[in-house]
Structure 1
Amino acid sequence: MFESSLFLAFIGLVFLLAGFVKGVIGLGLPTVAVGLLGLVMIPAQAAALLVVPSLVTNLWQLIAGPGLVRLMRRLWPMMAGICFGTWAGTGMLGGANAAHATTALGLALVAYAVLGLASFRLNVPARTEGWLSPLVGAVTGWITAATGVFVIPAVPYLQALDLEKDELIQALGLSFTVSTIALALGLMYGGLLSQDMAGVSLLALLPAMAGMFLGQWLRGRVSPQAFRRWFFLGLLALGIHLAVKALL
């Protein structure tokens, strides 16, 4: 599968772009990477390639924040739910489910893009976090297991917690890190994370980091709002294409 230099170059360009998007707006690496790789491979393979770049970049985002211990105490039920949902859905990405996984991936990208374009914001009262956090985590984990993308409903939920800007970025890093680890363990258990996949995933870290540095450099030179709009429009088109392609 990875013998073609053109194919490897495509993977490198995908992770360069995905890292660039994350550098500009603080998220989007797994969504862009899995979405674009889904054009040429099944979501299980795309998710396997995502493991190392996603883990390293999100650990970086997680550690750089101001209050990790406090966030972990507050969000641990959500993180436990993510692990439970991901492992409960292990196997949905591969084998006979590949076509359904591609459709689910397309629909997940469409949903995320629509929410982003609509600037949809929830408001979560503190009294509901006790039962809502593990539920949101479990649903996020199940969608992760089905699509390889771990933004719905985790990102809208975290945005609704009235966190400070730096806290929100760190909370997203925590959620994405736990999702990546849970997904990697699920893929390993299902035999979908081979040694070859792990090696290519490690190589993909280089363009992902280069793209992230470039995006961070550009962040202060472009309008984040305009960039987000074009990002979600592109994501919407990609999601529609994947969903329709899988159904035809």
Structure 2
Amino acid sequence: MIGEFALIFVAIAMGGLLKGAIGAGAPVLAVPVLALFFDVQLAVAVMVVPNLLSNLWQGWFYRRDMLPNAFTWGFATSGGIGVLIGTVILASVPAQVLLIAVAATVFGYIAFRLARPDWVLSYTAALRAVWPTGTVAGVLQGATGISAPVSITFLNSMKLKRESFIATISVFFALISALQIPVLWWYGIMTPQRFLYGLLAMIPLFGAMPVGNFIARHLPPRVFDRVILVLLALIAVRMIFKALQ
């Protein structure tokens, strides 16, 4: 049991490294590991708390670099609608199905990152797509705890400067997390114990974020990115094996 909790601590810390490096993505690493040792419902409930608090901080810190309100709040609001739908799915779908869904989501994220690394989406086209994209990302976040295959890829494709990316994605994650918490309470997925676990998860997350920021400034981005993708692939494969047992 001690070994499992140590591994979970490391997974959340690695999520903090990723968040510190690129401004987002902590659940991409932490949720699959938590789901692997416990279940998807617990993973989503635990990570929603640090997701909310860390993104409130980042959104405020980078607020001057935020994209125009029509885009930023359209993205966040549609994500909020989607996360409510996704949370209903989380509460009603069997654990094995959710495990496979999380693994498939991770593989989808990896595949797109490898297949289209240089794809650029113009701001005009992105503005037209912001509401449907935000909704789909919110559904994924609510149902699996991971929206990166849609949310992060969407903003990455616009080739934003790092500060604008962080400001915009932070508003998205903060709003959907704030909406998701009461719905998780309503369905009994969020409990006082899991809420406490979420607060404790802030320790490795916030502790690792400055390290990730340091690494991002000194390590070639492509190297760091490939290491993360390989790790995600290994986790996703393990999740599928667990779901099929």
Alignment check: 8 A CA contact 1:85 1:138 kept: yes
The question of 1:104 aligning with 2:101 is answered yes
Shift of 1:90: 2.4
**What residue ranges of structure 1 are gaps of 5+ in the alignment?**
none
TM (norm. structure 1) is 0.88
The question of 1:72 aligning with 2:91 is answered no
The question of 1:38 aligning with 2:35 is answered yes
Shift of 1:89: 2.7
Alignment check: 8 A CA contact 2:136 2:150 kept: yes
Shift of 1:96: 4.8
How many percent of aligned residue pairs carry the same amino acid?
24
The question of 1:209 aligning with 2:201 is answered no
- 2:55 is aligned, of 45, 52, 58, to 58
Shift of 1:103: 0.5
Q: How does 1:1-248 map to 2 (within 5 A)?
A: 5-67=2-64, 70-94=67-91, 96-248=93-245
Q: Secondary structure at the match of 2:90?
A: coil
Give RMSD over aligned pairs: 2.3
Q: How far apart, in 1, do the equivalents of 2:74 and 2:23 lie?
A: 24
Q: Secondary structure at the match of 1:87?
A: helix
Runs of 4+ with deviation above 6 angstroms: none
Shift of 1:69: 6.3
Alignment check: 8 A CA contact 1:144 1:183 kept: no
* Cα distance change, pair 164–17 in 1 and its aligned pair in 2 (3 A): closer
Amino acid at match of 2:79: I
Moved more, 200-209 or 48-57: 48-57
* Cα distance change, pair 13–123 in 1 and its aligned pair in 2 (3 A): closer
Greater helix proportion = 2
Shift of 1:37: 1.1
TM (norm. structure 2) is 0.89
Q: How far apart, in 2, do the equivalents of 1:31 and 1:69 lie?
A: 23
Q: How far apart, in 1, do the equivalents of 2:118 and 2:180 lie?
A: 27
**What residue ranges of structure 2 are gaps of 5+ in the alignment?**
none
* Cα distance change, pair 212–136 in 1 and its aligned pair in 2 (3 A): same
